[in-house]
């Protein structure tokens, strides 16, 4: 996706019409929703929805947009994404701060936050890859794939989520991780290699799984 020009941002900032801002941020809404779905604590799914958080992100971005230009060396989506991450932290504090124990009890059947990335990444790989049409076999493959992903270090899971699930470009990934593009690329390659090793060790259909399909 092409970056908006500085003039686009200036127009959205100085215009009194919300439509100008909507035209600026709407192309990024799907990617932001993917981020929110990945990072939202499973225990509060019944309390707040991804669309609600996206609306809060848009409102925060509208207020902060005048501050973007001075630091516009940051890709626009990475700037939006940082606002979304901060908004998620606010939502988690709001719902899981003093009421964390109650939220756990009400959502005992939800996926725990430590499993969320592995679960969603596994589903993503199964959906994109060549897998059996039989529902039971797909669930078995997804479960085993999730186990393999869960064995990875958090930093490995995170960069795989950035590149595969959030579909960030190498440049965007480097900005998010505050690394050079070369260093981010090396980290991604290592994470991919480690996951492939886990899949080979698992054997069966997973040993030949194509992560890049």
Could you report the per-residue pLDDT of 111-139, keeping only the tens digit for each? 344 444 688 888 888 887 655 566 777 78
Chain centroid, CA 96 distance in Å:
20
**Which architecture does CATH list for 6-106?**
Orthogonal Bundle (1.10)
Predicted structure pTM score: 0.75
Q: What is the pLDDT of residue 56?
A: 94
Stretches where the chain sits below pLDDT 50 are 98, 100-116
What is the fold of 113-208? Arc Repressor Mutant, subunit A (1.10.10)
Q: What is the pLDDT of residue 103?
A: 43
Domain boundaries, the chain: 6-106, 113-208
DSSP string, 69-131: GGGTTS-HHHHHHHHHHHHHHHHHHHHHSTTHHHHHHHTTTSPPHHHHHHHHHHHHHHHHS--
Q: What is the pLDDT of residue 205?
A: 63
């Amino acid at each position: 996706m092409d970056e908006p020009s500085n003039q686009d941002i200036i127009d959205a900032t100085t215009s009194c019409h919300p439509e100008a801002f909507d035209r600026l941020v709407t192309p990024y809404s799907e990617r932001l929703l993917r981020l929110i779905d990945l990072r939202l604590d499973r225990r509060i799914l019944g309390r707040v929805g991804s669309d609600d958080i996206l609306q809060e992100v848009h409102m925060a971005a509208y207020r902060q947009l005048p501050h973007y230009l001075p630091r516009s060396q940051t890709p626009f989506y990475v700037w939006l994404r940082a606002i979304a991450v901060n908004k998620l932290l606010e939502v988690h504090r709001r719902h899981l701060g003093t009421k964390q124990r109650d939220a756990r009890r009400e959502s005992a059947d939800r996926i725990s936050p430590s499993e969320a990335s592995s679960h969603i990444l596994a589903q993503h790989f199964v959906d994109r890859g060549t897998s059996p049409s039989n529902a039971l076999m797909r669930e078995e493959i997804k479960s085993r794939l999730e186990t393999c992903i869960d064995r990875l270090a958090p930093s490995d899971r995170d960069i795989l989520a950035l590149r595969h699930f959030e579909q960030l470009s190498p440049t965007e990934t480097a900005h998010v991780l505050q690394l050079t593009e070369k260093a981010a690329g090396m980290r991604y390659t290592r994470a991919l290699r480690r996951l492939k090793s886990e899949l080979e060790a698992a054997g069966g259909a997973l040993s030949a799984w194509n992560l890049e399909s």
